Structure 1
Amino acid sequence: MPGFLRPLTRAVTYTRWLHLLMGSAVAWSCAAIYPGLSRPAFGDWVLLPLLPVPLVVAAAMVPAMRRAEGLQARMMLFPGAHTRVADGGAEDPGISVAPSASWRDRGRTAVWLVLRLEAGCAMSLATVHLFGLALAMLGTTEAAPWDDGPVRHVATLGWAGAPLSLLPVAVELVLIVVGGRLMARAARRLLGPSPAERLAALEERTEQLLERNRIARELHDSIGHALTVAVVQAGAAKAAGDPEFTDRALDAVVETGRAALEDLERVLRVLREDGRPASGRPTLTDAERLLDSARASGATVDVAVAGPLERLPGPVSREGYRMLQEALTNVLRHCGPVPVRLGITVDETRLVMDVRNALTGVNGATAGGGSGLRGIRERAALLGGRATTGPYEGEWRVRVELPLG
């Protein structure tokens, strides 16, 4: 099919035409009251698109009018599931469906309603006259408004004038296609999101991305820690060949796996957004279970805590727990059950965590990489703190400083 005929096969072309015709409904209703349509003079035709202007401007001041016009424009001016599109795709309408939130929005809505009124009047008059002209050329009506001129002579030809009658039909189809596209473009400009709505949408999108990133880190830390503990415990139990040690290792695997399943269920509940409250995220006051699982894996963990952990702000305590979890997971994954020294200091302004273990070849090789260490640094930066990882005084150190404000 030729490209210039393709718009005629799309349903949206005719919904746009209907949208244009509907825009003149107010004008015709007002004209039926005054000045009347029984014997309209030229001045009456001039008043037809002008009389309703104050009425539509007043309607635009109602905030809900912008939402109504936005919904109607989305449904009738743009391709969607209700239309047949030649290329099988759908356009992004870019039309706001929020009520007017400012006088600027009301002004844009008023301009849109006046434009729709005038364009609707023009399209309705063009449609009536062009189709009437086509019927007159066919000689199928005697009520043609053209008493003289070439049209009258063509009308006397009857069906012989059929080829010429296609000309006004073609003009009308061109007006329908071009007028519909122009109205769709105007709708995007006048009914599109305001700067405040665009900023709100951008902020919402940013929040969603941050939440997804946080959930990804949560799963990485929790599941990664559980799998690391399970692998270390299973390897140690196999090497030891001691039934008592094997029982302790299996208990540690069960406990760590149960905690990981609780974290996974909580994250999935958040993703489903089913409205049910999610279980609380662990905090540094729950760090003992991390230390127990590390000790059960054969590592010796010496802990020194200075300051009240229970007084830490919620975000600091929760993120601190995840950072400690990742640090211990890295120790078990890359060094195995080696001695670990953990220092936690809480004062009036900051939280400091210091995790150290023996520096091995494997541990040193990972000094610059790994998503876990990068995740620790990202978490610290989001809270306005900092994290340093790398060799220090012959040991591998992870040091985190988080402000409490």
Structure 2
Amino acid sequence: MGKYAKGWLHLLIGSAVAALPLLFALVVVWAFEVPRAAAQLVALLAVAALLTASFGLPVRARPACVAGVNALLGLRLPPPLQKSRPRTALWVLLHGVIGSVAVGAAAFLGMIAAFAFLMFLTHSDDRIVFLWIATDNDLITLLLAGAAAALAVLTGFAAPALLRAAAPSLLGHQPAERIAALQQRTEVLAHRNHLAQELHDSIGHTLTTSTIQAAVAAKLMESDPATARQALAGIEDSSRLALEELDHVIELLREEPAPRAPQRGLADVPALVEHVRRTGRPIEAALPPDLAAVPPAISREAYRIVQEALTNALRHGTDGEIRLAIVVEANRLILDISNPVDQQQVRRTGRGTTGIEDRARLLGGEASAGANGARWEVVVQLPTLRADSDR
């Protein structure tokens, strides 16, 4: 269906909406026997207008109007976030009035055009009379038919154009709705960024360690089968963890309230260190015995930070010992991760480094990353007193 036809369909819907209230208003005015023609007309229009506008009061009226405008008038109004019954009622009334006038005018002009053209074809002696125009000239009769037909066609352009101009003001978002829409959009983007960070931290670490372990297994399959089997077992464990993390992220996408994946914290860092060690890279870890005493919210984010830092060390560092040190003090937690790095390939930031800084900042801490001699060092300090309860 073309744009012109859709515009007429929208006008027909408006005239149909106004038709029933108009008939009811006729009955009311006739029943109460309103005196004088002018008073009858005013009462008729008032009752019809009130009844037509009342169609915009139900809660579902506004979404239906927006959907109709978008589908038939080619607009792109956003879904309504508030009821705004007065504006919706005014739109329904305007839609009904313009639709009724346009359909009535087009029908009247169409009849005039058809009648005039018929008179022209038959060369009838009964000349057409249109308002004050009376003629016995065939050319004028033909011009009159053409003008009436053209006006009927133009009505199909002008009336939808008026509705398109009025729709954004009556059905579009008001400032409060725009603010609410921006807040909603911000929440969606924050949620997506959170999911992207979850995938990057968890799946990225697993893929990195699995790739290195696969390379070790392929290299030592014949010369050192035991080490190769150990590397393959590490790939199996890493893949299982990756599936758990993927299930966790999928549940976040579905907005399920209780994710099945375990919430790993600093107590799981020894297992993380063991996964790194299975890749064949030497790692020295200085871990205090009281990791479980760190508040859960801090512990979870600290685990992610350590995971990302170790992943970056495996991915971008050169061969050499990785060092991990965790210090738990009275009111802060210190994470120190370093690895040897090629000075010519040092980069200040990447997705992982940015994620580490974001996590630290959200917890009220700070993070620094950069070259320290021949090593790349990441140092993160997190306050522990501000997160004495789980988030």
TM-score scaled by structure 2?
0.78
Q: CA deviation at 1:69?
A: 4.1
Q: Match for 2:29 among 27, 30, 34? A: 34
* Residue of structure 2 equivalent to 1:181: 161
Within 5 Å, which residues of 2 pair with 1:17-56?
Answer: 17-25=11-19, 26-35=21-30, 41=37, 44-45=40-41, 47-55=43-51
Q: Secondary structure at the match of 2:207?
A: helix
Change (3 A) 1:8 1:336: closer
Opposite residue 361 of structure 1, the aligned amino acid is D
Superposed CA deviations along residues 337-390 of structure 1, whole A, max 9, x for unmatched, are 633332323456443211133x3426x732414332232223323444321111
Deviations 1:20-44 (A, max 9, x none): 423532234313431589xx95664
CA deviations over 1:59-87 (Å, ceiling 9, x no partner): 65x451xx314413522x3346xxxxxxx
Determine which of 67, 70, 77 is the counterpart of 1:78.
70
Q: The residue matched to 2:325 in structure 1 has which SS? A: strand
- Paired residue secondary structure (1:49): helix
Q: Which residue of 1 aligns with 2:285?
A: 302
Structure-2 separation of matches of 1:250 and 1:197: 55
CA–CA distance in structure 1, aligned partners of residues 190 and 262 of structure 2: 19
SS of equivalent to 2:288:
strand
Are the structure 2 counterparts of residues 199 and 346 from structure 1 closer, same or farther at C-alpha, using a change threshold of 3 Å? farther
Residue of structure 1 equivalent to 2:101: 122
Q: Is the 8 A contact 1:78 1:184 kept in 2?
A: no
Unaligned runs of 5+ in 2: 120-127, 387-391
Tell me how far 1:167 sits from its aligned partner: 1.9
2:283–2:324 contact (8 Å) kept in structure 1: no
Residue 258 (structure 1) aligned with residue 240 (structure 2)? yes
Q: Which residue is 1:215 aligned to?
A: 195
Indicate how the Cα distance of structure 1 residues 8 and 163 shifts in structure 2: closer, same or farther if over 3 A, else same: farther
Structure 1 residue 394, shift from structure 2 partner: 5.7
More deviation, 251-260/228-237: 228-237
**SS of structure 1 residue aligned to 2:304:** helix
Farther-moved stretch of structure 1 (111-120 vs 317-326): 111-120
Cα deviation for residue 259 of structure 1 reads 1.1
Asked if 1:328 is matched to 2:324, the reply is no
Q: Which residue of 2 aligns with 1:84?
A: none
Partner SS state of residue 9, structure 2? helix
Distance 2:377 2:234 in 1: 26
Contact 1:343 1:353 in 2 (8 A): yes
DSSP 3-state at the match of 2:45: coil
Cross-structure match for 2:389: none
Contact 1:252 1:296 in 2 (8 A): yes
**Partner Cα distance (1:228, 1:147) in 2:** 86
Q: 1:254 offset after TM fit, Å?
A: 1.8
Distance 1:136 1:303, change over 3 A: same
SS of match in other structure, 1:341: strand
1:305 is paired with a residue whose SS is coil
> How far did 1:225 drift?
1.9
Distance in 2 (CA, whole Å) between partners of 1:208 and 1:70 is: 22
Match of 1:356 among 316, 319, 338: 338
Mapping 1:225-304, distance limit 5 Å: 225-237=205-217, 238=219, 241-271=223-253, 277-298=259-280, 299-304=282-287
Q: 2:12–2:99: 8 Å Cα contact kept in structure 1?
A: no
Q: In 1, Cα distance between the equivalents of 2:104 and 2:372? A: 85
Please name the residue that 1:137 is paired with. Answer: 116
Task: Please state how far the C-alpha of 1:183 moved relative to its aligned partner.
Answer: 0.8
Structure 1 counterpart of 2:268, one-letter code: D
Match of 1:370 in 2: 350
1:10 counterpart SS class: helix
CA distance in 2: counterparts of 1:195 and 1:278, whole angstroms: 40
Question: Secondary structure at 2:323's aligned position in 1?
Answer: strand
Q: Which amino acid aligns with 2:26?
A: A
In structure 1, the partner of 2:178 is 198
Q: d(CA) in 2 for partners of 1:127 and 1:41?
A: 26
Taking the aligned partners of 1:217 and 1:181, their CA distance within structure 2 comes to 47
CA distance in 2, matches of 1:289, 1:282: 11
Number of equivalenced pairs: 370
Q: In structure 2, do the counterparts of structure 1 residues 264 and 230 end up closer, same or farther at CA, with 3 Å as the change threshold?
A: same
- 1:97-176 mapped onto 2 (5 Å cutoff): 97-98=80-81, 100=83, 105-138=84-117, 149-151=132-134, 153=135, 161=141, 164-176=144-156
Cα displacement (A) at 1:291: 1.0
Partners of 1:185 and 1:52 lie apart in 2 by 24
TM-score by length of 1: 0.76
Residue ranges of structure 1 left out of the alignment (5+ in a row) = 1-6, 81-89
Counterpart amino acid of 1:326?
E
C-alpha distance 351-11 of structure 1, shift in aligned 2 (>3 A): farther
What is the DSSP-based 3-state SS (H/G/I as helix, E as strand, rest coil) of the residue aligned with 1:342? strand
Q: 1:285-315 deviations in whole A, cap 9, x for unaligned? A: 322221111122332322232755354243x
Structure 2 distance, partners of 1:295, 1:318, is 22
Aligned partner letter, 1:21:
S
